[in-house]
Structure 1
Amino acid sequence: MDEDGHVRPLSIQWYDGKTYPIDEVKSVRRASSRKVGGDGICYTVRIGSNVTYLYYEDPRWFVEEIVPDTPPA
């Protein structure tokens, strides 16, 4: 949280324990996750050369996991 009371995420810790530092917060807006539902504050963040969406739905944070398409069996 900055001195004006705004929340700025600094990193994302993935479920395997690996931490990814956030290089830039590109935008902040109220939004719903189209993939997993939920409604809260959406942070568009850059981690390295990748851009993703981080959501804050008080009191939880979540990110939409990118799951590669798998060919049919």
Structure 2
Amino acid sequence: MPDRARRKQYVEVIATHHIDGSVRPQQIIFAQGPIYDVEDVKGVTKVKTTSTLEIANRYSVVVTGKETYLYEDCGKWFVLMKS
């Protein structure tokens, strides 16, 4: 079964910025919806974004017990929502 199309949804993120330059997202806030706590950050990788073709940080995070991705590109945070 093919994957459903996804759309980019910008979100507000509350994060802790550490002295070594690392960032740990704490909460994901949707403009018209709920606030989600980030329960765990499994890792961060650099990926090429399809929107800007620039390198972005992809955070593998656990939210409501499920692992998902949160992206940061040039200071803007987004998730990929099912269409």
Is TM-score (shorter-chain normalized) higher than 0.5?
yes
User: Which stretches in structure 2 are left out of the alignment for 5+ residues?
Assistant: 1-16
Larger Rg: 1
How big is the alpha-carbon RMSD for the aligned residues of Structure 1 and Structure 2? 1.7
Asked if 1:53 corresponds to 2:69, the answer is yes
2:56 aligned counterpart, secondary structure: strand
Find 1:40's aligned residue among 56, 67, 73. 56
Higher relative contact order (CA 8 A, sep 6+): 2
TM-score (norm 2): 0.67
Structure 1-normalised TM-score? 0.75
Which has a greater percent of strand? 2
Count of residue pairs brought into register by the alignment:
65
Q: Which segments of structure 1 move beyond 2 Å, counting only runs of 4 or more?
A: 36-39
Q: What is the identity percentage for the equivalent residue pairs of Structure 1 and Structure 2? A: 31
